[in-house]
A and B are shown apart, each in its own frame.
Chain A
Amino acid sequence: MTQPILKARGLTKRYGKVTALDRCDFDLMPGEILAVIGDNGAGKSTLIKALSGAVVPDEGSVELDGKKVDFHSPIDAREAGIETVYQTLAMSPALSIADNMFMGREIIQSGVMGKLFRRLDKAKMQEIAREKLNELGLMTIQNINQAVETLSGGQRQGVAVARAAAFGSKVIILDEPTAALGVKESRRVLELIQDVKSRGIPIILISHNMPHVFEVADRIHVHRLGRRLCVIDPKEHSMSDAVAFMTGAQEPPEHPQAA
């Protein structure tokens, strides 16, 4: 049996008296798209933040590629190869698309100007940014230097997804990537997700949109009351089953690991 690329055991996170994560387990297999679904307040966001380094769990362990990892910030997780597209997108509105794509990992010019004066290689960054956006085909952007705040919601989402796809080497986490998008743009993001998967990079997809989840996911992690209720195969269960499980209307299937 193959080892999970990202594995969490017994994750617990409390905010005062609220327990957001209650001894939660999590497994992501290589090359798969794993959807995480759950009701509002089930602790999905906290789980994702614990995996991406934005939240440090009180208890429990996370393993990447079989090695225990200890993320204290999103930067740690990024360096380990986990890229996250947050629901808030984590972009600086006043800065340009290129600036935002390379935020925190800017390319510095080679030669004296770079070494001595730390001059950014803007031309190269703009070129790569344009390339990545074109790969997506998601953009209707003329100017790579336009401020992110002048983009529509869908375009911003596209830039954020492009950023993650460009740099994610081990795992990509997408938090509600289609929530703000129109029909056509959602379609492109779903195509992009398949595209990233075909490159062999596993994806964690958090979404409320059941048709999207059932369309792309290989397995579905159902989250309820701060822990993993069950993992189901979208081919064996219907959308209404999934909703019944996550709302507690129906007992989960006997075998919790439908791999």
Chain B
Amino acid sequence: MSQSDNFEAAASGAATDVASFEDTHKGLVGQIQHTLHVNPALVPLIVLVAAICIFGLVLGSKFFSPFALTLILQQVQIVGVLAAAQALIILTAGIDLSVGAIAVFCTVIMGQFSFRYGMPPAAAVACGLAMGTAIGAVNGWLVSRVKLPPFIVTLGMWQIVLAANYLYSDNETIRSQDIANDAAFLQFLGYKLKFGGAVFPLGVILMIALVLVLAYMLRSTAWGRHVYAVGDDPEAAELAGVNVHKTLMSVYMLVGFICGLAAWVMIGRYGSVSPSATTGVIGNIQAITAVVIGGISLFGGRGSIMGAFFGALIVGVFELGLRMAGADPQWTYLLIGVLIIAAVSVDQWIRKVTA
């Protein structure tokens, strides 16, 4: 190599200290953007606290009471559990339209196995959870191995499971008293713990525990890191040594299992088992709404499960608050629509921190 093209020598006199970036130049907006980038659950938390404060100020102690606030928790427990499931799928850049249908089908399995086949209720619950996991496994296999888009797989599975639910149950509802008399364990999660005016059914406690466990798993285990990596860029994850198939299968199966848990929560909440419960039809959309408001990116790999939980609570606060204020229920839907669009706009803005 001739000396004349030794262009690199020119760099030898350059400054050798490492580059440092002054964060202060970004100003307040930049710092907020950065903080939100690091803590994606912060936006829904702020919205949640603000909503509670506003309704509390307007409605006074009617709303801002232990009873009303825990009522919100009771009203969102099913959607909250489904949203936790949905959040996992959306973190892998998928979407699951079948969560509500799986939950309803699992309630029917739990009820019919107890009453039609005389199974002990605990075994029937186990069968329901197993059925949820199995349906999740089929979804996962179709997405991961057959490489079908999650939207298509779960759109089909939604219809299949809902139809199977009606066919198997003969559209027969199992009444609450019958369950209480013969298979009380099915309603176990409806058992209410009372502290003064505050009411906590076990279903609410299960929801909160589930969110905390999933948050831990996503944050502090290798599995959680893999879920984010797969949602971020599956090819990069595969090359970096993540077993993408195994990760996706585990996520879809876990989601099926959580749908089974949602089923058990449903029986606790409603008392009865009804194959035509509305959760089968709108549960998926409610869960997606909570996840989106919770700041989880539909493109995968970003967001936190706490966000989805806060999202579900925001919807619950709006529903109860507006009903107490005597507003037309359509206002709730209108505001939730605004929140969805606002949440996605904020997500896009936060992503710009990378540019």
Contact = CB atoms under 8 A, between A and B. Distances in A.
Contact of A103 (B1, B18, B237): B237
A150 interface: yes
B265 to A, nearest CB: 24
A46 to B, nearest CB: 15
Interface string B205-226: 0000000000010001111011
A219 B242 CA distance: 34
Interface residues of A, number: 40
Given A94-B232, A150-B354, A104 B221 contact: no
Contacts of A120: 220-222, 225
A15 to B, nearest CB: 17
Interface in A138-191: 139-140, 142, 147, 149-150, 183-184, 186-187
A95 B229 contact: yes
Contacts of B228: 92, 94-95
Contacts, number: 96
Interface string B24-43: 00000000000001000000
Interface stretch (A20-28, A82-90, A198-206): A82-90
Interface stretch (B6-14, B145-153, B250-258): B6-14
A211 B1 contact: yes
A73 interface: yes
A194 B19 CA distance: 25
23 contacts: A88-B239, A91-B240, A92-B232, A92-B237, A92-B240, A92-B301, A93-B233, A94-B228, A95-B228, A95-B232, A103-B237, A103-B241, A104-B226, A104-B241, A106-B225, A117-B216, A117-B220, A117-B221, A120-B220, A149-B354, A183-B8, A183-B11, A215-B1
Given A93-B354, A103-B225, A215-B1, 17 more contacts: A74-B241, A84-B239, A88-B236, A90-B235, A92-B232, A92-B236, A92-B240, A94-B301, A95-B229, A95-B232, A99-B225, A118-B222, A142-B20, A142-B21, A149-B354, A183-B11, A187-B11
Interface of A: 54, 73-75, 78, 84, 86, 88-95, 99-100, 103-106, 108, 117-120, 122, 139-140, 142, 147, 149-150, 183-184, 186-187, 211, 214-215
Interface of B: 1, 5, 7-8, 11, 14, 18-21, 37, 216, 220-223, 225-226, 228-229, 232-233, 235-243, 301-302, 353-354
Task: Give 5 nearest A-B pairs by CB, closest first.
Answer: A104-B241, A90-B239, A106-B222, A92-B232, A149-B354
